[in-house]
Amino acid sequence: MTDVGADAPPARDVTVVEVGPRDGLQNEARAIGPAEKIEFIERLLAAGVSALELTSFVRADRIPQLADAAEVAAHFPHRAGVRLIALTPNEKGLDAALQAGINEVAIFAAASDEFSRRNINQSVAASLEMFRPVAERALDAALHVRGYVSTVLGCPYQGRVPLRDVVALTESMFALGCAEVSLGDTIGVGTPGTVRALIAAVSGSCDVRRLAFHGHDTYGTGLANAFAAYEQGIRTFDTSAGGLGGCPYAGPAVRGNLATEDLVYAFEGSGIRTGIDLDQVVAASMWVAQHLGHPPYSAAALALAR
């Protein structure tokens, strides 16, 4: 890849989908207001983030931290070259996203029935029927549709999740019209070995270039897992500034989503370009951490912010 001009976005070998403003903030004990969210997002975009989960249009009583979805989304009209994604589980969520001017929506499934029921109140099979009109209407409106398959390496309720279930569900998400499907290690139990087996299994029937890896760092394997996914051909990684989000099934000090700056430090230092400025993303993480009242869950942020 070569630089094409002074005003061109930075060249990159991988795409980082920044999930802090949605997946991160939804798991935080302290909610921050829309003005803080908007500043956090602006700081992340200034750091070079080219794809970002803006918010989700879900029940406010289920996810009160994102009850201001419409206000936050309305602040970010279409920006050339930047993917701003909102989660929309059903048509009611899609209606709200369309009204707010969102141009990429995400439908989110899980590979285990019990997780799916507790998360979106539907079995896996029923959730696909719920997503069908969401995807159809979004595509008719010329929106991009992203898909998620959660619990790909383990479920907090079911335990082991058979790879064949993950493969079948990923195929179904593509069949619904998803341009990209993100494979989520929701409880962070993956290891480089299980991640390799996962990507090998899914890429047997799905184009690996259209898969993303959504890794968590619960057991400290987040970076090793990301490299294992990279070696298997994955080029899109979901990460969260400051490792925001914790782990929804563990105590408050336990890490959740892999931190964006940890991935940027390790990938850039290995010659894999992310297009993200490390110092700026660390500054964004430190800024939001002050508003949330705890230090970032990120080794790189803590080392660099001394």
**What are the catalytic residues?**
247
Rounded CA-CA distance 143/135 in Å is 9
Positions 77 through 96 that interact with ligand HMG (CB under 6 A) = 89-90, 92-93
Asked if 147 touches ligand HMG (CB under 6 A), the answer is no
Asked if 217 touches Mg ion (CB under 5 A), the answer is no
Q: Binder to Mg ion among 65, 257, 260, 285 (CB under 5 A)? A: 257
Nearer to ligand HMG, 63 or 263 (CB): 63
Asked if 23 touches ligand HMG (CB under 6 A), the answer is yes
Q: What angle do CA 175, 181, 184 make, to 5 degrees?
A: 130
Asked if 63 touches ligand HMG (CB under 6 A), the answer is yes
244: tokens are 């925001």
Asked if 43 touches ligand HMG (CB under 6 A), the answer is no
Asked if 230 touches ligand HMG (CB under 6 A), the answer is no
Positions 207 through 226 that interact with ligand HMG (CB under 6 A) = 214
Largest Cα–Cα separation, the chain: 51
Which stretch in 4-12, 32-40, 119-127, 158-166 sits in contact with ligand HMG by CB under 6 A?
Answer: 119-127
Count of residues making up the chain: 306
Asked if 28 touches ligand HMG (CB under 6 A), the answer is no
Q: What is the 3-state secondary structure (H, E, C) of 28-73?
A: CCCCCCHHHHHHHHHHHHHCCCCEEEEEECCCCCCCHHHCCHHHHH
Q: What angle do CA 103, 109, 114 make, to 5 degrees?
A: 150
Q: Binder to ligand HMG among 50, 186, 236, 240 (CB under 6 A)? A: 186
Q: How far is the CB of 238 from ligand HMG (least distance, A)?
A: 7
187: tokens are 């409880």
Nearer to ligand HMG, 85 or 278 (CB): 85
Q: 230 φ, ψ to 5°?
A: -60, -45
Rounded CA-CA distance 107/94 in Å is 10
Positions 18 through 57 that interact with Mg ion (CB under 5 A) = 23
Nearer to Mg ion, 24 or 98 (CB): 24
Count helices and strands in the chain by DSSP H and E runs: 11, 8
Q: List residues binding ligand HMG (CB under 6 A).
A: 23, 56-59, 62-63, 89-90, 92-93, 108, 119-121, 148, 150, 184, 186, 214
